[in-house]
Amino acid sequence: MTSPDIVSFTEVEQAGLSDWRRLFDTLRARYRTGDFATGLRLVNRIGALAEEANHHPDVDLRYPTVAVTLWSHDVGGVTSRDVDLARLISRAAADLDVEADPSSLSVVEIALDTADHEEIKPFWRAVLGLTDDPETDTQLFDLVGSLPTVWFQHTEPHDEPRQRFHLDIRVPAEVAEQRIAAALDAGGTLVTDEYAPRFWVLADAQGNKACVTTGRGRG
């Protein structure tokens, strides 16, 4: 069975999916359920539709919203399968008198300027536990969807930057040393372990810093 083609941003806009917005390579909606019980009913409806379609979205149940993300993992983008399931989910929400809130949708990505992304990409893959994007060599993403995508933007060579912000990654305490070792094996350096096991400061080969943090030593 061949995979369906990715549909364009314009094609999604023309599909009449008023609840949904195409953000990067995903189709997203957020529904104002008002209470947890209604949200759970909507999630159950979505689950049944997903099983019937054999196409499964990411669903985030909170009080008082349900957020849904659709994309076709096998091709790395939005396809007709996502458009079809989005329509069905919208109908299920309407049956429950649940309204969508497209204005609340957003996606954060992290862009890192670099003259040589191949030099530092393995470090960021390791320290953040991300995965290579199958479509582009300059991007890393989280298969689970809980972390923002990191992409590398080309710039001219420059001295080590004086960062005005850096990334902290909080991991279970038993994972920290493994994550640090992977980052060091991927070309990183240990800047300081003075504050371990609360946190360790690491840097990639171009001096961009990140901290691996745990809950230990924090009271």
Structure tokens at 33: 């359920």
pLDDT 10s digits, 97-115: 999 999 999 888 999 999 9
* Domains defined for the chain, CATH in brackets: 9-104 (3.30.1360.20), 109-213 (3.10.180.10)
C-alpha 105/C-alpha 87 separation (Å) is: 18
pTM (2 d.p.)? 0.85
C-alpha 129/C-alpha 29 separation (Å) is: 26
pLDDT 10s digits, 148-160: 999 999 999 988 8
